[in-house]
């Protein structure tokens, strides 16, 4: 891969897995008749596979099976970096962390396996406090399951895109990292208060 630049690529699979586990809402992309079909779904990583489920009425459900190809994007933190934060002269930029994956998707047809994947997803997402546990035999889930399609994706290609001002001197790199942390904490509250 020639883009982004080598210093903005991360080939460490453990770093990419950490992004997936920390930001599990994936942008799932398939293609049907040269048109992209895009859905946002939380996915759980396990043993080089991603497991998820969706409503059977979602048009994407028909593509998430039969060993179809799929592309996924997991987006981590991102923000504008002003030259004003640096100790040296720089230009404005945008820093971000994302993981792009490609894979082959197959349907999970067994109802018990779909239920188990939902229980495991809930356990993962409830970390670390586990204030709620989804019971495998919850009557509400029994009513919901007939309308759910489960799937798993075998990951075939990994791309880590970590644009974090790594090409700056160590002090400027740390300043950019701290800006990313601060902006993602402060601006989230302002953003949610504006739109909700």
Nearest to 94 by CA among 112, 104, 81, 85: 81
Give the residue from 58, 165, 148, 57 showing the smallest Cα distance to 107. 148
Q: Which of 145, 139, 155, 143 is nearest to 118 (CA)?
A: 145
As a whole number of angstroms, the distance between CA 81 and CA 48 comes to: 34
β-sheet bridge partners, residue 45: 50
**In contact, 63 and 33? CB cutoff 8 Å:** no
pLDDT of residue 48: 95
Strands 93-108 and 35-42: unpaired
- Give the residue from 37, 67, 69 showing the smallest Cα distance to 54: 37
**CATH code 1.10.1740.10 for 6-195:** no
DSSP letter, residue 13: H
Could you read off the pLDDT of 16-53 as tens digits, one per residue? 999 999 999 999 999 999 999 999 999 999 999 999 99
Percent of the chain with pLDDT over 70: 97
* pLDDT computed for residue 167 by the predictor: 80
Does residue 162 register a pLDDT over 80? yes
Contacts of 5-12 with CB under 8 Å at 24 or more apart are 5/167, 7/166, 7/167, 8/161, 8/162, 8/163, 8/164, 8/166, 8/167, 9/159, 9/160, 9/161, 9/162, 10/160, 10/161, 10/162, 11/158, 11/160, 12/160
The answer on pLDDT for 11 being more than 90 is no
β-sheet bridge partners, residue 155: 103
- Does 117 score more than 90 pLDDT? yes
Average pLDDT, the chain: 91
* pLDDT > 70? residue 3: no
In 11-147, the DSSP E strands lie at 25-32, 35-42, 44-46, 49-55, 68-81, 93-108
What's the Cα-to-Cα distance from 26 to each of 39, 93, 124, 156, 167, rounded to whole Å?
Answer: 8, 25, 15, 16, 28
Position 1 confidence tier, pLDDT thresholds 50, 70, 90:
low
Q: Does the structure show a pLDDT above 70 at 121? A: yes
Cα-Cα end-to-end distance for the chain: 40
Please state the rounded mean pLDDT for residues 81-86. Answer: 90
């Amino acid at each position: 891969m020639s883009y982004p630049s080598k210093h903005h690529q991360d080939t460490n699979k453990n770093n990419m897995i950490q992004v997936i586990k920390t930001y599990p809402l994936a942008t799932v992309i398939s293609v049907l008749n040269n048109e992209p079909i895009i859905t946002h779904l939380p996915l759980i990583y396990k043993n080089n596979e991603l497991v998820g489920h969706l409503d059977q009425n979602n048009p994407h459900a028909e593509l998430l099976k039969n060993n179809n190809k799929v592309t996924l994007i997991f987006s981590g933190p991102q923000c504008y970096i002003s030259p004003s934060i640096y100790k040296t002269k720089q230009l404005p930029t945008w820093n971000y962390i994302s993981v792009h994956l490609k894979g082959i998707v197959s349907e999970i047809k067994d109802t018990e396996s779909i239920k188990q994947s939902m229980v495991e997803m809930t356990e993962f997402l409830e970390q670390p406090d586990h204030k709620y546990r989804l019971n495998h035999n919850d009557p509400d889930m029994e009513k919901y399951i007939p309308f759910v399609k489960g799937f798993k994706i075998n990951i075939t290609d990994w791309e880590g895109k970590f644009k974090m001002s790594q090409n700056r001197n160590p002090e400027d790199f740390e300043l950019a990292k701290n800006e990313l942390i601060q902006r993602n904490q402060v601006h989230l509250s302002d953003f949610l208060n504006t739109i909700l």
